[in-house]
Amino acid sequence: MRLPLEGIRILDLSTMLPGPLCTQTLADFGADVIKIEQPKGGDFFRSSKPFLKDDTSSLFMLVNRNKSSLTINLKSEKGRQLFYQLVKKADVVVEQFRPGVVKKLKIDYDSLKAINPQIIYCSISGYGQDGPYRLNAGHDINYLGYSGILGVMGKKNEKPTIPSVQIADIGGGTFNSIIGILLALIARTHSGVGQFVDISMLDGAVGWLPYLASSYLATGNSPVAGDSMLTGGYAAYQVYETMDGKYLNIGAIEMHLWSNLCNFMGKPEFIPWQRVVEKQKEMLAFFSEKFKSKTRDEWLEALSTIDTCAGPVNTVEEAFKDPQILHREMLFEVEHPRLGKIKQIGFPIKLSATPARFDRIAPDLGEDNARIMSSLGYTRDQISEMEECGDI
CB-hemisphere CA count at 13 Å for 124? 34
Q: Which of 188, 193, 33, 191 is nearest to 113 (CA)?
A: 193
Q: Catalytic pick from 43, 140, 169, 203?
A: 169
28 is catalytic: no
Closest CA to 122 of 171, 80, 81, 178: 178
Strand order in the sheet with 237-241: 237-241, 247-251, 310-312
Measured over the CA atoms of residue 16, residue 19, residue 22 and residue 26, the dihedral's sign is: negative
**Cα–Cα–Cα angle for 60, 83, 96, rounded to 5 degrees:** 45
Q: How many helical (H) and strand (E) elements, i.e. helices and strands, does the chain have?
A: 16, 11
How far, in Å, are 146, 151, 225 from residue 158 at the CA level?
18, 10, 8
Asked if 291 contacts 261 with a C-beta cutoff of 8 angstroms, the reply is no
Name residues whose C-beta falls within 8 Å of residue 87's C-beta, 6 or more positions apart in sequence: 11, 93, 112, 115, 116, 119
Give CA separation, 203 vs 47, 156, 290, in Å. 30, 26, 42
Active site residues: 169
